[in-house]
Chain A
Amino acid sequence: MTNLVQIARGQLSRLPEVTALVISDRSGALLEATGDIDGEAAGAVYTVAAEALERAGDQLGLGPLSRASIAGPASACIVAVHDDGVVGIHVDPKKPIGGIEKKLDGVFRR
């Protein structure tokens, strides 16, 4: 079991704001999914999107990507990039995303 899966099971999935969670490796293959989510599809999507954002960061000289948040009226998600893979964390879109981002910083010790 990867360190990332351990973190997800032990800490991320216990956060009350989290509605679903998907972890994939850097190739997009599903490692773990919990909650109401199509893990295989979402995991691949988040991995590809994270890769594209990392490329944009490289082009702009912004350094490595730490995380991205996606906000909309009906869905919200935080995509965190970790050495072992990419985590997509679905959260309640009605709640401020900043709070959970701070908790994630603690979990990943950034």
Chain B
Amino acid sequence: MDAILQSLHEVEGVQATLVVDCEGQLLAHRAHAVYDRSLLQEVGRTVVNAIDSLQLVHDDWELVSAGFADGKLLIRNLFAARQSPGQAAALAVVADTRLNPSFAGVAIRVAASRLKNAAPPAISAPVPVAAPAPISAPVPVVAPVRTATPSQPHPAARPTTAEPDPRAAAFLTACATALAGSVGPMARVFVKEAVRTVCGAAPFGREHVLPLIAQLEKHIDDPGERAQFRTTMTA
């Protein structure tokens, strides 16, 4: 893996390269001395936070290119087949303003292809580089679902039409509203994701209510707020 990262450093302007898993754990890196391992580990987690958010809207993303006043951060998706801890999930390239985006694009594509075929790495020690250099289509948040609220009996047979059940929509909206008190506007996104995780392709039913609440409360850091959310949604 070091050889693959080293090949990226042959592109003018590249200052650091890192490979992270889906949890932001640094799997390999190569960088000038100014970027040490602990710093790149932090960057890895931050990068994964960014891509975790972006893929809620762009689940097909291949490349994220972030432009800053003094450089660029390019993140290449290494794709879902390996989205488990310890497996390479993304390749990030840090570059200064000298970077030629076309050359970098080709080099990153080649490196990503080689990384996808590489064996899972052991976590690497820092490897300094020789010479330091200067420095579409949206998805609805409330999916069409059918359910009963927790206080109502579960219907014996659900209609098979795709028409949204207003009680389900109201329940999910209440979830988003209650969650928003702790996590802000991302609440609606989290509710949509949780419905997808808990229900899969099945319609939302009474049996999904508690798993949904459990899924959503993971986003609340404060124990008091988490308990309050659970109390509100199970009342």
- By a beta-carbon cutoff of 8 Å, the part of chain A in contact with chain B is 19-20, 24, 27-30, 36-38, 40-49, 52-53, 55-57, 59-77, 90, 93, 98
Interface centre among A29, A41, A76, A93, by most B CB within 10 Å?
A41
Is the beta-carbon distance between B68 and A27 smaller than 8 angstroms? Answer: no
**Beyond A27-B184, A67-B66, 11 extra complex contacts between A and B, CB < 8 Å:** A27-B185, A59-B42, A60-B43, A60-B71, A61-B70, A70-B54, A70-B64, A71-B63, A75-B58, A75-B137, A90-B136
Interface size range on B against A: 35 or more
- The smallest beta-carbon distance between A84 and chain B, in angstroms, is 16
- The smallest beta-carbon distance between B179 and chain A, in angstroms, is 12
Given the known inter-chain contacts A40-B141, A60-B43, please indicate yes or no for A45 contacting B54, CB distance below 8 A.
yes
- The smallest beta-carbon distance between A97 and chain B, in angstroms, is 8
- By a beta-carbon cutoff of 8 Å, the part of chain B in contact with chain A is 16, 34-35, 39, 42-43, 46-47, 49-51, 53-54, 56-58, 60-73, 94, 101, 135-141, 184-186, 188-189, 192
Which of A30, A56, A72, A74 has a CB less than 8 Å from the CB of B47? Answer: A56
Given the known inter-chain contacts A41-B188, A44-B189, A48-B53, please indicate yes or no for A72 contacting B62, CB distance below 8 A.
yes
Is the beta-carbon distance between B69 and A64 smaller than 8 angstroms? Answer: yes
A49 to B61, CA, bound (A): 13
